[in-house]
Amino acid sequence: MTDRRTFIKDAALALGGIAIPHGNADAATWESFFQTHFREMDATEKKRVVERLEKEYSEKYKKDITVGVEKAIPGVLFGYGLDLSRCIGCRRCVYACVDENNQSKDPQVQWISVLRFKKGEKWSDLEDSEKYYNPAQVPEEEYFYMPVQCQQCENPPCVRSCPTQATWKEPDGIVVVDYNWCIGCRYCMAACPYGARRFNWGEPGRKAEEINPKTHYLGNRPRPRGVVEKCTFCIQRSRNGRYPACVEVCPVGARKFGNLLDPKSEIRYLIEHKRVFRLKEDLNTNPKFYYFFAYGR
Amino acid sequence: MPAFITNFFIALRQIFIGTKSYYLWVGFLLIPILAGLATYFGQQAPNGLIVTAMRDQVSWGFYISNFTFLVGVAAAAVLLVVPAYVYNFKPIKEIVLFGELMAITAICMCLMFIIIDMGHPERAWHILPFIGMMNFPSSLLAWDVLVLNGYLAINSFVAFYVLYKLSTGKDYNMSLILPLIILSIPWAVSIHTVTAFLYNGLGARPFWNASILAPRFLASAFCSGPALMILLFQIIRKVSDAEIDDRAIFKIAELIAYAMGINLFLLGAEVFKDFYTGSVHAASIQYLYLGLHGYSALVPWIWFATVLNISAFFLFLVPKTRHNFTTLNMACIFVVIGIYIEKGMGLVVPGFVPDTLGEIYEYSPTKTEILISIGVWATGALIYTLLLKFALPIYTGKLRFASSTPQINPKVA
């Protein structure tokens, strides 16, 4: 694959030395322009790219920022459970996610949407939901809540639709995006049935002190403008044996997370013993995100 | 240097030589082109797509709407070839070239609309096979890139080959060109089918996920493309010495009548299914035609388009109005505007409203989007003008090259 890259690099440079970016400072611009697809990089190449990105981010935010490339752990397939009988609609998950995953705050980007439904009214088509509810206090007696984020489909329509293979499903089941490969066509957003994908319409804005310095290449590293991003089950945490931020922060324990391949995991227990369903199952996307009711109310 | 290259440049020189009204027209086009460029490089490029009204809920808008409409124009311009060769109808055969040049122009405009819609246009090479990572055959967008560029290549080759042969006064080699022309017919169908499938294949969007979508795309393209060509034929024969037979124009008008009949029928079938069933999947079409929960930005537009399309259908159908240039041109303008609304914003935006989580975000393009889009349209008009200026002297026989020594008829200008 190095051949391919060298070829276009040479071809571009041969275009009459029009090299627009010049000098040392701009070498990184070229590097990033010719950067190959993440899945085609070998270890040394990954190392070089990570070093370049770490330098770039650290200079931009004036603090040390690490970019991990931890691989999927063999024998792990991540699954998520969300207990609708517990969720109180407080949106702490939404904000914990933003804190953890370095989303832009201006313009605002959030990976989790919490939908509010009136009890006793139809909710199958989600159309009667309210995303911007803003009461003085939650939970409200007459409503119930359903948080939605990337469902990490086993059969993801977004991956199928991406024209450049910039988004794919990792061996541990997490659907990721290479922000350096995404061309920003947004076909995946049209394809996603769960409204889980976000586009950086403008330059992501976030104060340096708000940046979470521990990042992963396929997850929460700072994103450029004009690319798509989404929930990765906090890949930078989950691949290091930690819970995603939303699981950790949930004050009522509505969020469960674990290894679907481990018969003794909590997620397996709830799938086997609770009344679970998945969103829009008719589309056969096969989400690894299970909604369930731990108790009736 | 081979003679044909020298001759090419001699022919190319024609685009710089023209009447006062030619210069005026080109100058007139340069204003919106420059305005569009200035808006793109002054606003969208430095700030990102946030200068558009598109957001996560409605992630495609005016640019992709224009793209979709123009794929139809590109497809239909060549579909003129069908009657020409299937029925061996000579008057149309003579004007196929203009259709091919229109196809080239429309594809160029399509590519421009795609480029300006991208978050990272400089990464466009990622989509190419071999040097990029084209997701073929999985992604319909990858298919679209292939068929659109293939279509551009076929039409460019045919058009320029025919011109080259004409310019040397020789008859072109039918055995070489006919297979390509025949190939361009299913290929024209394919570009519009693939573009329809691009929307059609998304289970997430019930509005697009209807099998009738691709047939509707084709039927409407058969209306808008030829209607645009009829208007252009009249301009071409007015400003040049190209002879375009009335019979060709009336034949095409007749074909539009049938296409529009089918288009309206298919629309009716879709409207019936959605509204009579009344499932939750009817929300988008409801938003389009009636408005949803008080949101109705597209309603006046789509009814305007429907009225135009139905009136045009009758104007094309009745021989008397079809053979009268006033009513014929009216009908053509109706169709172009009607289909532009129906197969543009009327197709793209309702796919996103309500969004997959039931939210309604009303999209209407910003001034930036409109200015940039007008710039692309003006660029298209300029491309077509220049292509014609290049082709017409050869087509009409004013410019002829002896096999080796280039000669120019002094009357050319």
DSSP track, A116-143:
EEETTS--TTSTT-BSS---SSSS-TTE
Do A185 and B134 count as a contact with CB atoms less than 8 A apart?
Answer: no
Written as one string, the DSSP assignment of B313-344 is HHHHHSHHHHTSHHHHHHHHHHHHHHHHHHTT
Written as one string, the DSSP assignment of B231-264 is HHHHHHHHHSS----HHHHHHHHHHHHHHHHHHH
Strand, helix or coil for residue A219: coil
Q: Which is higher by pLDDT, A179 or A295? A: A179
Do B48 and A195 count as a contact with CB atoms less than 8 A apart?
Answer: no
Do B139 and A163 count as a contact with CB atoms less than 8 A apart?
Answer: yes
* Residue from A164, A230, A282, A285 to probe the interface with B (highest B Cβ count within 10 Å): A164
Sequence-distant (≥ 6) Cβ neighbours of residue B231 within 8 angstroms: B329, B332, B333, B336
> How many CB atoms within 10 Å of residue B45?
12
Percent of chain B whose predicted confidence (pLDDT) is above 70: 96
Residue B202 in contact with partner chain A when CB distance is under 8 A: yes
Do B59 and A189 count as a contact with CB atoms less than 8 A apart?
Answer: yes
Per-residue model confidence as pLDDT tens digits over B153-195: 999 998 888 888 888 887 777 788 888 888 888 999 999 999 9
Q: Which member of B52, B135, B356 has the closest CB to residue A163?
A: B135
Chain A neighbours among B 144-163 (CB < 8 Å)?
145
Predicted-assembly ipTM surpassing the 0.85 threshold: yes
Do B124 and A165 count as a contact with CB atoms less than 8 A apart?
Answer: no
Annotate A50-95 with three-state secondary structure.
HHHHHHHHHHHHCCCCEEECCCCCCCCCEEEEEECCCCCCCCHHHH
Tokens coding B260 = 């529009």
> How many CB atoms within 10 Å of residue A55?
12
Give CA separation, A20 vs A15, A29, B38, B126, in Å. Answer: 11, 10, 20, 20
> Cα(A160)–Cα(A235) distance, rounded to whole angstroms?
21
Residue B55 in contact with partner chain A when CB distance is under 8 A: yes
Whether the Cβ atoms of residue A289 and residue A278 lie closer than 8 Å to each other: yes
Whether the Cβ atoms of residue A152 and residue A78 lie closer than 8 Å to each other: yes
> Cα(B270)–Cα(B276) distance, rounded to whole angstroms?
10
Do A203 and B47 count as a contact with CB atoms less than 8 A apart?
Answer: yes
> Cα(A257)–Cα(A162) distance, rounded to whole angstroms?
28
Residue B41 in contact with partner chain A when CB distance is under 8 A: no
Tokens coding A208 = 């340096």
Annotate B14-56 with three-state secondary structure.
HHHCCCHHHHHHHHHHHHHHHHHHHHHHHHHHHHCHHHCCCCC
> Cα(A75)–Cα(A257) distance, rounded to whole angstroms?
15
Query: Which candidate, A152, A149, A193, A151, places its Cα nearest to that of A175?
Result: A152
Biggest distance spanned by C-alpha atoms of chain A: 72
Residue B359 in contact with partner chain A when CB distance is under 8 A: yes
Q: What average pLDDT score do residues A145-152 get?
A: 98
Percent of chain A whose predicted confidence (pLDDT) is above 70: 91
Q: What is the pLDDT of residue A110?
A: 98
Give CA separation, B254 vs A101, B36, B100, B251, B322, in Å. Answer: 60, 37, 20, 5, 7
Do A131 and B49 count as a contact with CB atoms less than 8 A apart?
Answer: no
Is residue B32 scored above 50 in pLDDT? yes
Is residue A264 scored above 90 in pLDDT? yes
Distance from CA of B368 to the nearest CA of A (A): 14
Whether the Cβ atoms of residue B174 and residue B406 lie closer than 8 Å to each other: no
Tokens coding B42 = 């002054």
Whether the Cβ atoms of residue B95 and residue B78 lie closer than 8 Å to each other: no
Per-residue model confidence as pLDDT tens digits over B49-96: 999 999 999 999 999 999 999 999 999 877 777 777 667 777 777 788
Q: Which member of A37, A126, A182 has the closest CB to residue B358?
A: A126
Query: Which candidate, B261, B290, B260, B253, places its Cα nearest to that of B275?
Result: B290
B338-350: string of b/e by CB count within 10 Å (b at 16+)? bbbbbbbbbbbbb
Q: What is the pLDDT of residue A8?
A: 56
Do A190 and B60 count as a contact with CB atoms less than 8 A apart?
Answer: yes
